[in-house]
Amino acid sequence: MAELLQQRPLSPLPGEKLPVVEVRAPIMHPFLYRKRLGQFPNSAAPGDWVQLMVGRDIFGWGLFNPHAEIAVRMLQPGPKRPDDEWWVAKCRSAVALRRDLLQLDKVTNAYRVIHAEADGLSGLVVDKLGECLVIEAYTVGMYQRAEALADILAPLTDTQHVILRCAPATDLHEGFTADTTGSDAAPVKVTVQEFGTQFKIDFTGGHKTGFYCDQRENRQRFASLCKGRSVLDACCYTGGFAIQAKRLGDAGEVTGVELDEAAMMMARENARLNNVKAQFVQADAFAYLRDMYRNDKKYDAIVLDPPKLIRTREETSEAKRKYFDLNRLALQLAAPEAVLLTCSCSGMLSQDEFTQMVFTAAHDVGRNVQLLVRSGAAPDHPIGGQCPESEYLKTLLLRVE
């Protein structure tokens, strides 16, 4: 395992001979599954650059892992071989989208810098969280190049520290795992701001890179509808929707529900940090919603933002039932003219399937709903034209009659 975690240069040396991998079923997609590949040399090691060939033609270049189902992450199609300048150009383009076009620095210091396939860097996610650059590697090849990438990205993003972690289930999908590490003097916690609201992030135990930047605009939109309303934020994590509803939206009574004790404690700390009054309860969302239904409790605004429920195709049927049950329960707690923001971050559940599921749940409990906004992740989480799988977050903003 130790050799897999050794850092490597970004690019092969000029003139270095690379392993050649035969592509039997070529598609213009960054994922090349093993079943699409033909022969490759046994000497090709996890994380190696490889040259992809279709017959006698160079199809492209990518990072290889013979232990992964997605055996090649193609980074550069065509005959031109990537070099260090190629990496620099990719990083500059990604940062320019966030800082120049979207001008996110005007509203927050927490945003996605690299969004994997959508930014042409399959297997890599990078967030700017205050003064820290948080790198999450989904592939062994990207993990091995993380420190060199940080050297490019840090000056472009005005960050002083680097946190490196491997994504969940890399041991299963890529054959490696690693502890979270940080650069010298990297903080354990940072405080970021979003539309002026402050949130603390704990890098030692936080989910994903530590903060869900993808819900930024959805939090703001939901908050704008909460003035004076009673709010329930189910699966609230560290309190994002609940606290923004109170601080930006001037909501009335606000309750957040979270099963993870550490996240719930952080939500309480974030409420104190912003001097807002909100109640946070450690509980399973399903059990809490059932208890509130039995107590005939009603809410004027409800958020459902559960963690990813579908990780493998085998989990699909059970997860769909859970999504249905959660929405059915929430709709029964909705007061007349309530708003409901319901979310799914399961990439294997399509937007149309999710929408129909919520409509069916509403019909099942005799509630008529109006779909106001159908949305997804914030624009710093773009969808790659050659990788529709990069669309993962689905959100429906509803009015419940």
Minimal CA–CA distance to 384: which of 128, 100, 73, 150?
A: 73
Domain boundary residue, one of 149, 164, 190: 190
- State residue 206's pLDDT score: 60
Q: What are phi and psi of 151, to 5 degrees?
A: -60, -30
Instruction: Clarify whether residues 52 and 131 are in a common domain.
Output: no
Instruction: Clarify whether residues 225 and 328 are in a common domain.
Output: yes
For residue 200, being part of any structural domain is answered with: no
| CATH classification at residue 363 | 3.40.50.150
- State residue 208's pLDDT score: 61
Instruction: Clarify whether residues 214 and 353 are in a common domain.
Output: yes
Report how far apart, in Å, the C-alpha atoms of 137 and of each of 81, 126, 219 are. Answer: 23, 9, 27
> For the whole model, what pTM was predicted?
0.93
Domain boundary residue, one of 77, 99, 131: 77
Instruction: Clarify whether residues 40 and 118 are in a common domain.
Output: no
**CA–CA gap between residue 246 and residue 229 (Å, rounded):** 10
Instruction: Clarify whether residues 276 and 383 are in a common domain.
Output: yes
Residue ranges for the chain with pLDDT beneath 50: none
Helix, strand, coil tally for the chain in percent (to 5): 35, 30, 40
Instruction: Clarify whether residues 12 and 50 are in a common domain.
Output: yes
Task: Summarize pLDDT for 130-165 with one digit per residue, the tens.
Answer: 999 999 999 999 999 999 999 999 999 999 999 999
For residue 99, being part of any structural domain is answered with: yes
Minimal CA–CA distance to 229: which of 68, 112, 338, 373?
A: 338
Its domain, for residue 359, covers 207-400
**CA–CA gap between residue 358 and residue 345 (Å, rounded):** 15
Residue 198 CA to chain centroid, in angstroms? 20
- State residue 201's pLDDT score: 94
For residue 195, being part of any structural domain is answered with: no
Type of residue at 284: D
Between helix 285-294 and helix 316-333 the angle, nearest 10°, is 30
Task: Summarize pLDDT for 201-250 with one digit per residue, the tens.
Answer: 998 876 666 789 999 999 999 999 999 999 999 999 999 999 999 999 99
For residue 166, being part of any structural domain is answered with: yes
**CA–CA gap between residue 132 and residue 182 (Å, rounded):** 10
